[in-house]
Amino acid sequence: MEANDAEGSVPDAGPEDTAARPHTGRRRNEAVRRAILDAALRLLVESEGAPITVEAVARAAGVGKQTLYRWWPSKGAVLLDALTDRAGQDVPPPDTGSLREDLRTVVAATFDAAQRAPWAPALRTLVREAATDPHLAELLRAYTGTRRALLRDVLDRGRARGELPADRDLDLVVDQVYGLFWYRFLLGHAPLDRAAAERLTDSLLAPGTP
């Protein structure tokens, strides 16, 4: 979990549109934004499974519903924003010169981040919401797209170094990682610990690979 502002946030108007229209009117209240995101995150974390209602978020934030709808296009956008907003910065993927090393690190970090409290329940609820909310689904798709791209870069570098056969299907590798991750994360039938990360990495790189 990292990155933020997966759209839905404030338009973040560039400074140059000031010429066109200097933005009259009362400005957005940052404290309100914070209150909403905090409330949403709290509900996301606490509400184990139960769906989250817009009214609950508004009430918890001490805010009118309209204020939510003014700034976010849908409930899902608020929830995703709440989750990503606090999720720390995008740690750049490692580049140690060893694919095995890099891959192991990325996979373990992914497994780890998702498990670390209090993200797990929040993330699970978010994905659940996405099933109902097409808008959130789209946002989530975009978000995971960037995550996939990051991993893909690591693999590309490894292949360039000759650590993978030139004809290896790297998208498949990426999807094996994230597929396994989401499958276990959502079903919860098997662990996503460091050992799993190791074994997954090993299974993806040919045994003889350095």
Instruction: Write out the residues near its own copies by the rule CB under 8 A.
Output: 49, 51, 127-132, 134, 141, 144-145, 169, 171-173, 175-176, 178-184, 187, 189-190, 196, 199-200, 203-204, 206-207
Give the residue from 52, 113, 49, 47 showing the smallest Cα distance to 84.
Answer: 113
Give the residue from 123, 115, 107 showing the smallest Cα distance to 191.
Answer: 115
- 125 contributes a contact to DNA by CB under 7 A: no
DSSP-derived 3-state class of residue 172: helix
Interface residue with DNA, options 14, 15, 22, 92 (CB under 7 A): 22
Is 113 or 196 the residue whose CB approaches its own copies more closely? Answer: 196
Q: Is the torsion defined by CA of 164, 103, 142, 91 positive or negative? A: negative
Alpha helices in the chain (DSSP H): 30-46, 54-61, 65-71, 75-85, 99-115, 119-132, 134-160, 170-187, 194-204
- 134 contributes a contact to DNA by CB under 7 A: no
- 74 contributes a contact to DNA by CB under 7 A: yes
Is 33 or 147 the residue whose CB approaches DNA more closely? Answer: 33
Q: Which two tokens stand for residue 152?
A: 């893909």
Q: Cα separation of 47 and 125, whole Å? A: 8
- 17 contributes a contact to DNA by CB under 7 A: no
Span from 19-27, 91-99, 105-113, 192-200 in contact with DNA (CB under 7 A):
19-27
- 75 contributes a contact to DNA by CB under 7 A: yes
Partner from DNA, its own copies, none contacting 161, C-beta within 5 to 8 A by type: none
DSSP state of 17: G
Which residues in this chain contact DNA in the complex, by CB under 7 A?
A: 21-29, 32-33, 35, 53-56, 61-67, 69-71, 74-75
